[in-house]
Amino acid sequence: MKTQLQWNGVLSVAALAFLTACPGFTRNPATTSSSGGGSSSTGGSSSTAGSSSSSGVTDLTPAEFVPQLLAADCDYDERCAATLGRAYTTRAACDHQLEVFNLYMLSSRGVSFEETIVDALVVADQAKARECLAGLQSSFECNGNDHLSNHPTCVAAYRWRNGRSAGQSCGGGGDFQFDGTCNPGLDCKNDGTSECGTCAFPALPGQACTTGSQCTTGMCNSAVCAAYPGLNEPCMGSCAGNLNCRAGTCQFPLPEGAACGEGSCVGGLTCVGPSASRTCQALKAAGQQCSPAASEAHCRLLCVPSSTSSTSGTCSDAPTLPTVDQPCAWVGLSPVCAFGLWPRVTGTAAAPTGCTCSSRKANSATCDSGNECDSGVCDNSVCAAPFADGLTCGGDSQCQSGNCEYNMVSQQSECAAAVMCF
């Protein structure tokens, strides 16, 4: 099955491919809107109009190209559904998932997913950009390859603002989220002798290989990169497009009402119900009653409780996040608040009884987890400044350097200087 990311539904593979290249992105005030009612997804960044090319066609700006690219990827999934399985119940459901993920990114990082990509992307070749959009919509083969990452036309169309080219070092940290990231069409290959790798072109199905890591599919059979198996073909894991590997063969995603396991329903449905009898069910529309329970279908976007002491509420399609002291909204089983706040849940994680969006705490305040602290560090139940190099740590976020790694001499994880590969 094509790699997909679930929050309360399925995210386009285009979005996932972009997301994997942008860890740690945070608020850009110039492109994030907010109001007294909370933070709101704008569906894209503002930008000046594109200039005219020598052919007289107006150049696409990143703010114009990115939403068209994501929409074209939805068109590709719809066009290829008979061969590769449906990614979503409807074409509109595909568009809706971008709105869902924009909201998720606003809550966790302070900027929408689409704005993140607009800020990081450069349209490198205007003609290729338009060919890529047209190809996804009408002509690219329905073969299960990730065309955004691998098709020669698409990978020539755009690059990352600080992306690395073939033969350049890659990996490690950076001041901007795409520093050290290879440009489209390239993989960061690492031989294990260093924390840094080298950007290189992966091999497409049918090209020569010695190991699976050299192939876009990760599969090298008889010295040739293998394609993902198609409908009804034997499988051991991944399948072409949106197909699921079930009972040893690639099958279409499950429709509404079918018995299911996690991740096996078509996008726009969710697998819910008692553990022994879960079925694919439609996400609830705005105005329906809801609660964050594993036994019932979730909302298309947000479940908004009536008070901070309750988790029952009404589904809302308004992309607005609750602010300080308001009841947390819920997306599936996850409570969310406006960026910079933390969801203070009462009850237990398995059986919450309420939730309040709360301000994060200053250093020296008592805490149960780093999520409560401005610094992101809760040390011995007290909010504390991030640790200096050489101190023990439990994760990158606890270190001033942003790098927590295992020390073979002390045999414990310690903060250390971040490795810069470029």
* Mean pLDDT in residue range 286-290: 95
Residues 14, 124 share a domain:
yes
**Whether 24 contacts 90, CB under 8 Å:** no
Determine the Cα angle at 117 with ends 111 and 123, to 5°: 150
Closest by CA to 170, choosing from 179, 178, 180, 159, is 180
Distance CA 219, CA 328 (A): 44
Residues 374, 353 share a domain:
no
Residues 297, 148 share a domain:
no
Residues 56, 3 share a domain:
yes
Q: What pLDDT does residue 40 have?
A: 41
Asked if residue 89 has pLDDT above 80, the reply is: yes
46's tokens: 């503002």
Backbone φ and ψ of 115, nearest 5°: -65, -35
18's tokens: 């972009």
Residues 145, 67 share a domain:
yes
pTM for this model (two decimals): 0.79
Asked if residue 345 has pLDDT above 50, the reply is: yes
* Mean pLDDT in residue range 24-37: 33
In a domain, 267, yes or no: no
In a domain, 269, yes or no: no
Residues 381, 344 share a domain:
no
Last residue of a domain, one of 112, 141, 161: 161
Residues 7, 71 share a domain:
yes
- In the DSSP assignment, the letter for residue 364 is T
In a domain, 193, yes or no: no
Helix axes 62-79, 91-109, angle to 10 degrees: 140
Q: What pLDDT does residue 289 have?
A: 96
Distance CA 395, CA 368 (A): 16
Backbone φ and ψ of 222, nearest 5°: 55, 45
- Which residues, at least 6 apart from 45, have a Cβ–Cβ distance to it below 8 Å? 31, 62, 63, 114, 115, 118, 119
401's tokens: 């350097």
Q: What is the Cα 168 distance to its own chain's centre? A: 26
Determine which of 178-182, 244-248, 330-334, 405-409 has the lowest per-residue pLDDT on average.
178-182
Asked if residue 223 has pLDDT above 90, the reply is: yes
Beta strand 289-290 with 313-316: parallel, antiparallel or unpaired? antiparallel
- In the DSSP assignment, the letter for residue 346 is E
Task: Tell me the average pLDDT of the chain.
Answer: 83
Determine which of 59-73, 143-157, 323-337 has the lowest per-residue pLDDT on average.
143-157
In a domain, 31, yes or no: yes
* Banded model confidence at residue 67, pLDDT cuts 50, 70, 90: very high
Distance CA 80, CA 131 (A): 18
Q: Give the rounded percent of residues in the chain with a pLDDT score beyond 70.
A: 84
In tens, the pLDDT along 190-200 reads 877 777 889 99
Distance CA 109, CA 416 (A): 24
Q: How buried is residue 237: exposed, middle or buried, by Cβ count under 10 Å (0-12/13-18/19+)? A: exposed
Residues 144, 3 share a domain:
yes
Asked if residue 16 has pLDDT above 70, the reply is: no
Q: What pLDDT does residue 52 have?
A: 56
Residues 63, 3 share a domain:
yes
Residues 4, 151 share a domain:
yes
Q: What pLDDT does residue 259 have?
A: 92
Q: What pLDDT does residue 50 have?
A: 59
**Domain span at 110:** 1-161
Last residue of a domain, one of 112, 130, 161: 161
Tokens 């290989």 identify what position? 209
Number of domains in the chain: 3
Q: What pLDDT does residue 173 have?
A: 58
